[in-house]
């Protein structure tokens, strides 16, 4: 094998060669783009070598085939340099060439092939599998346009297409020889597209590699030449346009299913291509179909890929001539299902009519799976349970419940945090938990320490390594060894300086990116995540408005405020009207509050547009306070909460998702808990009348908003928000208002003692090693993959 350069000189040679051969320029004539692409080429050579090495290793182990419609990867350059151990060599080599590495870093566009937490989790998992040396392949869709780029016009969200591939997609390896044909429709009205895979190498930290194989849709015949020759140019390319639409754009929805035909087409497109790819590989390697369960498991990241279940059945029966029982016995051992939600409206269902038109054979297979399953239900639990457990819902229209299909077919079903897994058993799928008690398990989510600590927070990483060595990068529980340092005044000082430095680093980007900055002396209070009513950005905002009102009405002296910068970052699904209104309100409040001299600059609201992984990596290490304030019982896990705690922010949070586990680990005294618990929410829900006993602070905030104070006197603009809270308030913002405000007062009091605050922050870091995605992957190996 060609050994890639591992010396500075070798790296320089390779880089210049790539500039000349790939870009056709000399260093003197090169643009930033040329230099960036030549650097990627150089690093990619190492990834390719790493991958060949991994592939040559004996392959008798089971391969984890992770099926996910989303991968929110973030930038690749730094992670690739870190994983290959080339950080210093590349930096020196580029410096020797007079090239600014930071400029090239900033030039990279992150592939935003996901919406938020679910897609980011998939990216963390492929990183951890590669690092742990788990034989793995991630399958997904190579969306030409990822999650939209957000900007604000007059405070309102505007969506722009995310052309992440403009200027090429230099990290990928196209694999046209592995292309497959995917067929839709029935025998008479069928049509087909070609699925072409592009591989990203997922480098493990210092060793190992996995593959992320993303499918792109192409027409079988790119051009209808007779139509073209006849002058009908539109018809000539119609098939091409039609086919390419399949992988054209990511659905920008989070926590709500889309229900659109194109979405189902996307799901089947990538599920069928992936299952076919795995089966072909098995057979090509001399395996038999009976071996499949020993050689591969398909981990279903939510219900989006569940159509892979009937697809495997179809493949085994129609194309490989197995009998139903044999095929079902194999299929039942090849899938496992991760549920990501608690919102009943977020459970995917597909109308039977749509499936009959698009995938008639699969509908037949689903019906038969259901028939046989319901026979046993009838026998064991009785007729009265049949309707609730059927894969087919009868109203409002006949539809296939994908979560039921996944649960019946899967070896295991897991939730993503302890509380979530419990609610999954008790509330979301209780009949199934009774029927298949051994299937249900929990794997609490995690995040990769490489990206979210080692890369995002270089100064803290260096401080930790100085204290306890660098073993934590692949064994995050070693952070425990930091605990004694919480009592070490010199360490606390150094830790506080790291935080201060990270605020400067954040300002370096905010100034360029958003022409704004935080006051580096302020407590940095951060709420970054998708905009959704259940996450309750409004709860945070009402308290900001209440604080503002207190000062301008003269009830509170500005000098009495703990100076704070409250930073929001969030995209809203383009069709989610209320979420977009909330974005508008946050920006409107920011405009008024930041301009009002009466606050003496002691309260600032910032809302940098386009929250993405790149921004997350700057914001999170700088944060003092992490807002995790969803209504209890609504956030399945959260992973943002973990990133913040690992970077030494204290959490103000409800007893929801993985907040529960964070609090148990860091200790009540190092966490600002508030609000109703899930059982309290459930108990209050039937009789909740939000308008009847509104807290005085919340009332003042609502009145000020309703008065038009943030909309130039126009009372109509935000009236729907106020009315909704007072009459419906589905996520009980008002019921938790006082508890939240009191907890914020506790935050202020705690921050007034910087040394004690830092001690708590150090303990958060030291005690959150559990939230590594490496640990999560080990849990999957033990509890799910066998």
Residues labelled catalytic: 340, 529-530, 535, 639, 643
Number of other CB atoms surrounding residue 587 within 10 Å: 19
Q: Which stretch binds ligand PLP (CB under 6 A): 32-40, 114-122, 430-438, 554-562?
A: 114-122
Q: Which stretch binds ligand PLP (CB under 6 A): 6-14, 371-379, 411-419, 634-642?
A: 634-642
* H or E stretch at 587: helix 577-595
Q: If you count DSSP H runs as helices and E runs as strands, how many of each does the chain have, helices first?
A: 33, 23
Q: How far is CA 2 from the centre of its chain?
A: 36
CB of 64 to ligand PLP, least distance (A): 22
* Binding residue (CB under 6 A) for ligand PLP from 127, 311, 546, 612: 612
Instruction: Give me the 73-112 binding string for ligand PLP, x by CB under 6 A, dash otherwise.
Output: ----------------------------------------
Task: Specify whether the backbone of 193 is left (phi greater than 0), alpha (psi in -120 to 50) or beta.
Answer: beta
State which residue, 120 or 412, has the beta carbon closest to ligand PLP.
Answer: 120
Q: How far apart are CA 460 and CA 648, in angstroms?
A: 9
Q: Are residues 244 and 43 in contact, defined by beta-carbon separation less than 8 angstroms?
A: no
State which residue, 640 or 697, has the beta carbon closest to ligand PLP.
Answer: 640
Residues with Cβ within 8 Å of residue 447, at least 6 apart in sequence: 120, 124, 639, 642, 643, 646, 771, 772, 773
DSSP state letter for 520: T
Q: Which stretch binds ligand PLP (CB under 6 A): 77-85, 138-146, 636-644, 711-719?
A: 636-644
- Does 675 bind ligand PLP (CB under 6 A)? Our answer is no
The number of CA neighbours under 13 Å toward the Cβ of 307 is 26
- Does 120 bind ligand PLP (CB under 6 A)? Our answer is yes
- Does 640 bind ligand PLP (CB under 6 A)? Our answer is yes
Task: Specify whether the backbone of 386 is left (phi greater than 0), alpha (psi in -120 to 50) or beta.
Answer: alpha
- Helix, strand, coil share of the chain (percent; to 5): 55, 15, 30
- Does 613 bind ligand PLP (CB under 6 A)? Our answer is yes
* Binding residue (CB under 6 A) for ligand PLP from 116, 197, 252, 648: 116
Q: Which residues pair with 337 in a beta bridge?
A: 300, 413
Q: Are residues 528 and 586 in contact, defined by beta-carbon separation less than 8 angstroms?
A: no
State which residue, 611 or 751, has the beta carbon closest to ligand PLP.
Answer: 611
Q: Which stretch binds ligand PLP (CB under 6 A): 24-32, 581-589, 633-641, 752-760?
A: 633-641
Q: Are residues 774 and 125 in contact, defined by beta-carbon separation less than 8 angstroms?
A: no
Residues with Cβ within 8 Å of residue 67, at least 6 apart in sequence: 139, 140, 270, 271, 274, 298, 299, 300, 301, 304, 305, 308
* H or E stretch at 12: helix 8-18
Q: Which stretch binds ligand PLP (CB under 6 A): 405-413, 423-431, 488-496, 638-646?
A: 638-646
State which residue, 74 or 203, has the beta carbon closest to ligand PLP.
Answer: 74
SS3 307: coil
Q: Two tokens at 506?
A: 């954040």
Q: Are residues 519 and 539 in contact, defined by beta-carbon separation less than 8 angstroms?
A: no
SS3 552: helix
Distances (CA, A) of 85 to 5, 47, 53, 547, 559: 12, 11, 16, 49, 50
* Dihedral sign from CA coordinates of 633, 638, 642, 648: negative
State which residue, 293 or 640, has the beta carbon closest to ligand PLP.
Answer: 640
DSSP state letter for 483: G
Tokens 């000539």 identify what position?
A: 236
State which residue, 311 or 612, has the beta carbon closest to ligand PLP.
Answer: 612
CB of 568 to ligand PLP, least distance (A): 12
Residues with Cβ within 8 Å of residue 331, at least 6 apart in sequence: 309, 312, 313, 316, 409
- Does 448 bind ligand PLP (CB under 6 A)? Our answer is no
- Does 608 bind ligand PLP (CB under 6 A)? Our answer is no
Judged by CB under 6 A, the chain residues 480 through 499 that form the site for ligand PLP are: none
Phi, psi of 355 (to 5 degrees): -65, -40
| Number of residues forming the site for ligand PLP (CB under 6 A) | 13
Q: Which stretch binds ligand PLP (CB under 6 A): 150-158, 302-310, 547-555, 606-614?
A: 606-614
- Nearest residue to ligand PLP, scored by beta-carbon proximity: 640
CB of 463 to ligand PLP, least distance (A): 23
- Does 639 bind ligand PLP (CB under 6 A)? Our answer is yes
Q: Two tokens at 410?
A: 């899967």
Q: Which stretch binds ligand PLP (CB under 6 A): 290-298, 487-495, 549-557, 607-615?
A: 607-615
CB of 659 to ligand PLP, least distance (A): 10
CB of 494 to ligand PLP, least distance (A): 27
CB of 662 to ligand PLP, least distance (A): 12
What is the greatest pairwise CA distance in the chain? 82
State which residue, 74 or 697, has the beta carbon closest to ligand PLP.
Answer: 74
Q: How far apart are CA 617 and CA 603, in angstroms?
A: 24
- Does 653 bind ligand PLP (CB under 6 A)? Our answer is no
State which residue, 590 or 616, has the beta carbon closest to ligand PLP.
Answer: 616
* Binding residue (CB under 6 A) for ligand PLP from 374, 616, 619, 650: 616
Instruction: Give me the 511-550 binding string for ligand PLP, x by CB under 6 A, dash otherwise.
Output: ------------------xx--------------------
CB of 769 to ligand PLP, least distance (A): 18
Report the interface residues with ligand PLP, using CB under 6 A: 116-117, 120, 529-530, 611-613, 616, 638-640, 643
């Amino acid at each position: 094998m060609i050994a890639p350069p591992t010396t500075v000189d070798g790296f320089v040679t390779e880089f210049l060669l790539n500039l000349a051969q790939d870009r056709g320029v000399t260093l003197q004539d090169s643009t930033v783009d040329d230099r960036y692409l030549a650097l990627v080429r150089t690093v990619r050579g190492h990834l390719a070598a790493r991958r060949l090495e991994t592939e040559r290793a004996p392959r008798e182990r089971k391969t984890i085939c992770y099926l996910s419609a989303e991968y929110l990867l973030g930038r690749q350059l730094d992670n690739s340099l870190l994983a290959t151990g080339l950080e210093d060599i590349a930096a020196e080599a580029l410096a020797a060439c007079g090239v600014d590495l930071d400029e090239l870093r900033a030039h990279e566009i992150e592939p935003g092939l996901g919406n938020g937490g679910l897609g980011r989790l998939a990216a963390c998992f492929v990183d951890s599998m590669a690092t742990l040396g788990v034989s793995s392949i991630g399958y997904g869709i190579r969306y030409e346009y990822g999650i939209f780029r957000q900007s604000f016009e007059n405070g309102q969200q505007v969506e722009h297409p995310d052309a992440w591939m403009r200027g090429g997609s230099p990290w990928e390896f196209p694999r046209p020889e592995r292309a497959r044909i995917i067929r839709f429709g029935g025998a008479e009205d069928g049509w087909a597209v070609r699925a072409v895979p592009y591989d990203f190498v997922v480098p493990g930290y210092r060793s190992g590699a996995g593959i992320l194989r993303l499918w792109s849709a192409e027409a079988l015949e790119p051009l209808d030449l007779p139509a073209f020759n006849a002058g009908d140019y539109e018809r000539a390319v119609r098939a091409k346009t039609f086919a390419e639409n399949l992988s054209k754009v990511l659905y920008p929805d989070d926590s709500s299913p889309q229900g659109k035909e194109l979405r189902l087409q996307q799901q089947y497109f990538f599920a069928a291509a992936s299952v076919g790819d795995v089966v072909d590989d098995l057979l090509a390697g001399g395996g038999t179909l009976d071996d499949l369960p020993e050689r591969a498991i398909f981990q279903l990241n939510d219900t989006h890929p569940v159509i892979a279940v009937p697809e495997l059945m179809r493949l085994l029966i129609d194309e490989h001539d197995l009998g139903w029982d044999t095929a079902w016995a194999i299929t039942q051992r090849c899938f496992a299902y991760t549920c990501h939600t608690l919102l009943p409206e977020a459970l995917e269902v597909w109308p039977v009519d749509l499936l009959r038109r698009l995938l008639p054979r699969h509908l037949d297979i689903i019906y038969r799976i259901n028939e046989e399953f319901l026979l046993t239900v009838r026998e064991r639990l009785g007729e009265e349970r049949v309707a609730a457990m059927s894969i087919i819902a009868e109203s409002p229209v006949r539809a296939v419940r994908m979560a039921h299909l996944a649960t019946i077919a899967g070896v295991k079903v897991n939730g993503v945090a302890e509380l979530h897994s419990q609610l999954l058993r008790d509330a979301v799928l209780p009949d199934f938990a009774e029927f298949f008690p051994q299937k249900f398990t929990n794997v609490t989510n995690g995040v990769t320490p490489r990206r979210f600590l080692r890369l995002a927070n270089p100064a803290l990483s260096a401080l930790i390594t100085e204290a306890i060595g660098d073993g934590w990068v692949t064994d995050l529980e070693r952070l425990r060894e930091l605990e004694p340092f919480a009592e070490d005044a010199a360490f606390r000082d150094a830790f506080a300086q790291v935080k201060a430095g990270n605020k400067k680093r954040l300002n370096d980007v905010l100034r360029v990116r958003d022409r704004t900055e935080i006051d580096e002396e302020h407590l940095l209070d951060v709420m970054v995540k998708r905009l959704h009513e259940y996450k309750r950005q409004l709860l945070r905002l009402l308290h900001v408005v209440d604080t503002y009102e207190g000062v301008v009405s003269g009830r509170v002296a500005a000098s009495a405020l703990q100076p704070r910068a409250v930073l929001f970052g969030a995209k809203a699904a383009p069709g989610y009207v209320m979420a977009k209104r909330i974005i508008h309100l946050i920006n409107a409040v920011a405009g008024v509050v930041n301009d009002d001299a009466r606050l003496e600059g002691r309260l600032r609201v910032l809302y940098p547009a386009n929250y993405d992984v790149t921004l997350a990596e700057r914001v999170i290490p700088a944060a003092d306070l992490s807002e995790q304030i969803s209504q209890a019982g609504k956030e399945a896990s959260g992973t943002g909460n973990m990133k913040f705690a690992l970077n030494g922010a204290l959490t103000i949070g409800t007893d929801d998702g993985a907040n529960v586990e964070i609090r148990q680990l860091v200790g009540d005294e190092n966490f600002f808990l508030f609000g109703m618990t899930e059982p309290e929410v459930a108990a209050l829900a039937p009789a909740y009348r939000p308008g009847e006993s509104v807290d005085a602070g919340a009332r003042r905030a609502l009145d000020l908003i309703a008065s038009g104070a943030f909309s130039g006197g126009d009372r109509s603009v935000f009236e729907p928000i106020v009315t909704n809270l007072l009459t419906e308030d589905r996520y009980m913002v008002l019921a938790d208002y006082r508890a939240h405000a009191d907890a914020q007062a506790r935050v202020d009091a705690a921050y007034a003692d910087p040394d004690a605050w830092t001690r708590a922050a150090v303990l958060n870091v030291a005690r959150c090693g559990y939230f590594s995605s490496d640990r999560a992957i080990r849990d999957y190996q033990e509890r799910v993959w066998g």
